[in-house]
């Protein structure tokens, strides 16, 4: 959940670190800090509670001495509140050594006791300072070998961590390690970088190396070495970053979220590109896996948050097209029960970041239990795809706003592709031409919703800025979209919101309806199922009879809903499985506009972080 950046090279590091942190701030934004080793070989450090801007202002008022070796951190608090003292870096060895950390050191209490008994005095409440103190003690005890000391420390830590450290006696060296938490290397000319993800150094280089689990990396201006926790050399895996620095910038947009909502046609088009051949869906990354798709009798899709709602849409599509049973499991629930899985189960994980700890642990668990694993991921070189048997990348580009939008659309697109691919391989889809044409038409239809409904929905949100609760109802694939609409609103506008399966209404939630209660209803096309459509229309009448203010999302020309709706938001005609990608757009715009009307920061909502790398 924290963002980490490291630099060694010929340039002053402070601005490079701050620019890297600005790009990583989505990972955590309750405090930030940097440390640099200056030309005279002394270590300077500054850290501040609050957003990065607070640290920036402090450094502008009183800059640290220039230094070309540095580390920087942006924090999402776990152990100890967001204060100056608890911010990273943490210092040790008489303040000559600085260390930053992302993750949770689970055995920090025992280590802290051990260090206290040794006379160490702690300044903060963090687990991180324990790692710093341990490193300082090892370093002092081994005659000043930082890499050796680092190896000894990581072998004593339990939990999840990415650590970076440097010592003023070794200018030009930053050492890092990772276990269940992300770290990538950026390769420059006469300079090298470390970052939680490539955004940390994208403006300097697009050449990167992925570091595996339980590995330690040392960077100097001219060299990169990687070893495992036993000290055995390892060859890191090179990859080129496919997007450029501009993709991770706000451009002229008011927020990253606004930009990312608008980028959905492109995100969907890029995810489809290269995966349709001769009118059929063929996912090249899945070549050679036909036997797997023929051999399974069950699919479990596991994910968290928004990705789990994409998974629910995937369940409907894969079951329909591939005729195999699909269950959707929240990753943190799946792993802690005793699921019946084995070699005939395909566990599909979905993650934008590829680093969500709950999802990562579910994937590892599934593998240990003999299941086959496939991940759908938006981030190259991330841990979850590296831990899976196969990966289908979404190509949404970097998603910076905490509230996921374009990644969600790309995830549904990838699941639709997977369903059609599996359907073809399993011989369950006789003719996919209509669905393939629907897929190809999606980007244009999403663009038309963006264009046609932006103003209307924004106006609606403005009128509802004082609303205290909003409900969302849907059936079939509209149900996950109701859940997603509610989550978007909760996340960024802090308004109570609930999504329900419309059929569930009469089993309890209808008690919530009182005069004036706003309810969004996702109406499926009557062309897909007159029966399901008529059931939703009945649900609308039921809530309207109790005074609800009904806002309907329905396809153009659906006259049946008009008499019962206070507001109608139109989406273009589309196949049943494709409607979610259109219906979600007004809900994203609504949440964003409502939060904006309340004067809230839509990109960095309170208490949240973009990638949840703790369990």
Q: Which stretch binds ligand M6R (CB under 6 A): 71-79, 282-290, 348-356, 494-502?
A: 348-356
Which of residues 78 and 359 has its CB atom nearest to ligand M6R in the complex?
359
Which of residues 396 and 521 has its CB atom nearest to ligand M6R in the complex?
396
Q: What is the nearest approach in angstroms of ligand M6R to the Cβ of residue 54?
A: 24
List the one residue out of 427, 426, 377, 431 whose CA is nearest residue 404: 377
Spatial distance between the Cα atoms of 389 and 377, rounded to a whole number of angstroms: 13
Which of 406, 445, 488, 610 does the annotation list as catalytic? 610
Spatial distance between the Cα atoms of 241 and 487, rounded to a whole number of angstroms: 31
Q: What is the nearest approach in angstroms of ligand M6R to the Cβ of residue 403?
A: 4
Q: What is the nearest approach in angstroms of ligand M6R to the Cβ of residue 359?
A: 5
Which of residues 328 and 612 has its CB atom nearest to ligand M6R in the complex?
612
DSSP state at residue 199 = G
Asked if 611 touches ligand M6R (CB under 6 A), the answer is yes
- Contacts with ligand M6R, 399-438, as mask; x by CB under 6 A: ---xxx----------------------------------
Asked if 181 touches ligand M6R (CB under 6 A), the answer is no
Tell me which residues in 434-473 interact with ligand M6R (CB under 6 A): none
* Sequential DSSP letters for 331-372: HHHHTTS-----TTEEEEEEESSS--HHHHHHHHHHHHTT-E
Q: What is the nearest approach in angstroms of ligand M6R to the Cβ of residue 384?
A: 8
Asked if 366 touches ligand M6R (CB under 6 A), the answer is no
Which of residues 539 and 596 has its CB atom nearest to ligand M6R in the complex?
596
Asked if 271 touches ligand M6R (CB under 6 A), the answer is no
Asked if 394 touches ligand M6R (CB under 6 A), the answer is no
Which of residues 13 and 359 has its CB atom nearest to ligand M6R in the complex?
359
- By CB under 6 A, how many residues form the interface with ligand M6R? 16
List the one residue out of 45, 7, 166, 195 whose CA is nearest residue 99: 166
Tell me which residues in 122-151 interact with ligand M6R (CB under 6 A): none
Asked if 345 touches ligand M6R (CB under 6 A), the answer is no
Decide: helix, strand or coil at residue 42.
Answer: coil
* Sequential DSSP letters for 452-515: HHHHHHHHHHHHTTT--EEEEEE-TTHHHHHHHHHHHHHHHH--EEEEEEGGGGGGTGGGG--T
Q: Which residues contact 581 (CB under 8 A, 6 or more apart)?
A: 264, 268, 409, 412, 413, 442, 445, 446, 574
For residue 109, give both structure tokens: 């209490």
| Largest separation between any pair of C-alpha atoms in the chain | 82
List the one residue out of 62, 63, 87 whose CA is nearest residue 77: 87
Which of residues 361 and 523 has its CB atom nearest to ligand M6R in the complex?
361
Q: What is the nearest approach in angstroms of ligand M6R to the Cβ of residue 271?
A: 14
Spatial distance between the Cα atoms of 89 and 73, rounded to a whole number of angstroms: 7
Catalytic residue at 610?
yes
Catalytic residue at 304?
no
Q: Which stretch binds ligand M6R (CB under 6 A): 44-52, 193-201, 352-360, 519-527?
A: 352-360
Asked if 596 touches ligand M6R (CB under 6 A), the answer is no
Which of residues 174 and 347 has its CB atom nearest to ligand M6R in the complex?
347
Asked if 304 touches ligand M6R (CB under 6 A), the answer is yes
Check whether the bond before 38 is cis (ω within 30° of 0).
no
Which of residues 357 and 537 has its CB atom nearest to ligand M6R in the complex?
357
Spatial distance between the Cα atoms of 519 and 492, rounded to a whole number of angstroms: 18
For residue 218, give both structure tokens: 């040392």
Asked if 310 touches ligand M6R (CB under 6 A), the answer is no
Which of residues 417 and 487 has its CB atom nearest to ligand M6R in the complex?
487
Binder to ligand M6R among 36, 166, 301, 307 (CB under 6 A)? 307
Q: Which residues contact 153 (CB under 8 A, 6 or more apart)?
A: 131, 134, 135, 138, 163
Tell me which residues in 465-524 interact with ligand M6R (CB under 6 A): 487, 491
Question: Torsion over CA of 306, 308, 309 and 312, rounded to 10 degrees?
Answer: 170
Q: What is the nearest approach in angstroms of ligand M6R to the Cβ of residue 366?
A: 15
List the one residue out of 478, 446, 400, 480 whose CA is nearest residue 269: 446
Asked if 306 touches ligand M6R (CB under 6 A), the answer is yes
Asked if 359 touches ligand M6R (CB under 6 A), the answer is yes
Helix axes 579-597, 264-272, angle to 10 degrees: 150
Spatial distance between the Cα atoms of 31 and 22, rounded to a whole number of angstroms: 12
Asked if 383 touches ligand M6R (CB under 6 A), the answer is no
Question: Each residue of 84-98: b (16+ CB within 10 Å) or e?
Answer: bbbbbbbbbbeebbb
List the one residue out of 457, 501, 443 whose CA is nearest residue 475: 501
For residue 50, give both structure tokens: 């609050």
The CB-nearest residue to ligand M6R is 305
Asked if 351 touches ligand M6R (CB under 6 A), the answer is yes
For residue 10, give both structure tokens: 């010929």
Binder to ligand M6R among 352, 394, 409, 613 (CB under 6 A)? 352
Binder to ligand M6R among 103, 176, 305, 524 (CB under 6 A)? 305
Residues facing residue 438 across a β-bridge = none
- Give residues in contact with ligand M6R (CB under 6 A): 304-307, 351-353, 356, 359, 402-404, 487, 491, 611-612
Question: Which residues carry out catalysis?
Answer: 2, 610
């Amino acid at each position: 959940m924290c963002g980490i950046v490291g630099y060694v090279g010929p340039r002053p590091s402070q601005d490079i670190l701050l620019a890297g942190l600005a790009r990583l701030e989505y990972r955590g934004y309750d405090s930030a800090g940097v440390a640099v080793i200056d030309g005279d070989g002394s270590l300077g450090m500054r850290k501040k509670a609050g957003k990065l801007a607070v640290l920036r202002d402090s450094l502008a008022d009183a800059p640290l001495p220039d230094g070309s070796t540095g580390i920087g951190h942006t924090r999402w608090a776990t152990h100890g509140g967001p204060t100056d003292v608890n911010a990273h870096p943490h210092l040790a060895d008489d303040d000559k050594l600085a260390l930053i950390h992302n993750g949770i050191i689970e055995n920090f209490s025992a280590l802290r006791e051990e260090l206290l008994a040794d006379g160490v005095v702690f300044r903060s409440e963090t687990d991180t300072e324990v790692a710093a103190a341990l490193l300082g003690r090892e370093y002092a005890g081994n005659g000043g070998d930082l890499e050796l000391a680092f190896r000894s420390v990581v072998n004593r830590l339990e939990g999840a961590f990415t650590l970076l450290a440097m010592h003023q006696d070794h200018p030009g060296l930053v050492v890092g390690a990772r276990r269940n938490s992300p770290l990538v290397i950026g390769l420059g000319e006469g300079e090298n970088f470390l970052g939680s993800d490539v955004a940390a150094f994208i403006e300097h280089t697009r050449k990167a190396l992925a570091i595996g689990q339980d590995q330690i990396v040392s960077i100097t201006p001219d060299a990169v070495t990687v070893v495992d926790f036993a000290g055995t050399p390892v060859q890191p895996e090179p990859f080129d970053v496919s997007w450029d620095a501009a993709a991770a910038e706000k451009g002229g947009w008011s927020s990253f979220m606004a930009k990312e909502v608008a980028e959905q046609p492109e995100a969907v088009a890029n995810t489809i590109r290269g995966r349709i051949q001769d009118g059929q869906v063929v996912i090249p990354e899945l070549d050679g896996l036909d036997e797997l798709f023929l051999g399974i009798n069950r699919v479990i899709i596991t994910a968290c948050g928004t990705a789990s709602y994409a998974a629910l849409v995937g369940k409907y599509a894969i079951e329909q097209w591939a005729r195999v049973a699909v269950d959707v499991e929240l990753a943190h629930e799946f792993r802690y029960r005793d699921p019946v899985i084995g070699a005939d189960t395909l566990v599909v994980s979905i993650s934008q970041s590829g680093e969500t700890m709950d999802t990562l642990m579910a994937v590892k668990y599934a593998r240990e239990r003999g299941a086959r694993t496939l991940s759908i991921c938006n981030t190259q070189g991330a841990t979850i795809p590296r831990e899976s048997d196969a990966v289908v990348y979404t190509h949404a580009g970097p998603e910076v706003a905490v509230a996921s939008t374009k990644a969600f659309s790309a995830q549904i697109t990838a699941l639709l592709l997977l369903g059609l691919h599996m359907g073809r391989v399993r011989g369950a889809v006789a003719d996919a031409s209509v669905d393939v044409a629907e897929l190809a038409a999606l980007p244009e239809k999403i663009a038309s919703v963006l264009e046609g409904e932006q103003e209307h929905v924004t106006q609606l949100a403005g009128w509802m800025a004082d609303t205290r609760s909003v409900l969302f109802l849907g059936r079939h694939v509209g149900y996950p979209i109701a859940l997603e609409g509610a989550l978007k609103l909760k996340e960024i506008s802090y308004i109570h919101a609930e999504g329900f399966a419309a059929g569930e209404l009469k089993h309890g939630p209808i008690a919530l309806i009182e005069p004036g209660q706003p309810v969004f209803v996702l109406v499926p096309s009557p062309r897909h199922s007159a029966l399901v459509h008529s059931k939703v229309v009945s649900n609308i009448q039921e809530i309207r009879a109790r005074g609800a203010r009904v806002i309907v999302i329905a396809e153009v020309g659906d006259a049946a809903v008009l008499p019962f709706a206070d507001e109608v938001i139109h989406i273009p005609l589309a196949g049943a499985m494709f409607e979610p990608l259109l219906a979600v757009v007004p809900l994203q715009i609504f949440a964003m506009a409502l939060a904006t009307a309340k004067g809230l920061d839509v990109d960095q909502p309170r208490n949240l972080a973009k990638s949840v790398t703790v369990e």
